[in-house]
Structure 1
Amino acid sequence: MKGKNRTPPVKPLARERIAVLFSEAENVYREHPEYSDRYVALARKIAMRQRVRIDREHRRRYCHHCYRYLVPGVNMRVRIHHGWVAVTCRECKKTTRYRVERSHDNTE
């Protein structure tokens, strides 16, 4: 019987590198916004190659149309209306909408 492949676990490493790239994108955005866009592109490439989902907080930090790193008030506009959040990228003028999650507190 053939044994399992002994390759090291790369998915946790890929998630860690994606998190590092997004934190670097946040740190460097003020001086070099084009670096932040490149870090987003690298994070997406790692996620696609390793077939790893990008975490929700990171997914909402870039435009899904032009793949720019988004900073509220600088290059994105956020509006909340009837339980939906509308994020408009000021670079490509596209809008992305997602539902607001409500916390269910059972304090009675």
Structure 2
Amino acid sequence: MKAKTRTSSIKPLARERIAVLFSEAEKVFHEHPEYSDRYVALARKIAMRQRVRIDREYRRRYCHHCYRYLVPGANMRVRVHHGWVAVTCLECKKTTRYRVEKSHDNKD
């Protein structure tokens, strides 16, 4: 059998579609949160199929346990403590922690 070849134009297209799905999830969340969850599922499926990493800004917008789209104050809680950000999904009660990055701005 012939091996599948990937053209160089597919991965940028996949990243673009993932970005569009997350922007649509943000727009629709307050009327239909279940649509936002579906958009996250589709974005994950595209990323896995095309072997593309989801960008950090998008990865932090969904729960990695129940795959729900997260909005601060609506279905997630954010706490900052000793250099870590703790994000709690209020749907499944799981907590994810991220290290706070120090900015290296030189102020003269």
Give me the TM-score of the superposition, normalised by structure 1.
Answer: 0.92
Could you tell me which residue of structure 2 aligns to residue 100 of structure 1?
100
Q: Find the aligned partners of 1:95 and 1:74 in 2 and give their Cα distance.
A: 16
Off by >3 Å, runs of 4+ in structure 1: 5-8
**Structure 2: segments with no counterpart, 5+ residues:** none
Once residues 35 and 55 of structure 1 are traced to their aligned partners in structure 2, the CA distance between those partners, rounded to angstroms, is: 21
| SS of 1:98 mapped into structure 2 | strand
Matches of 1:61 and 1:77 in 2, distance apart? 12
Q: Secondary structure at the match of 2:78?
A: strand
**SS of the residue 1:78 aligns to:** strand
> How does the TM-score come out when normalised to structure 2?
0.92
The 1:44–1:6 alpha-carbon spacing in structure 2 relative to 1, beyond 3 Å, is closer
Partner Cα distance (1:105, 1:53) in 2:
28
**Unpaired segments ≥5 residues, structure 1:** none
CA RMSD of aligned residues (A): 1.3
Q: Identity percentage over the alignment?
A: 87
**For the residues of structure 1 that align with 2:67 and 2:12, how far apart are their CA atoms?**
23
Count of equivalent residues: 104
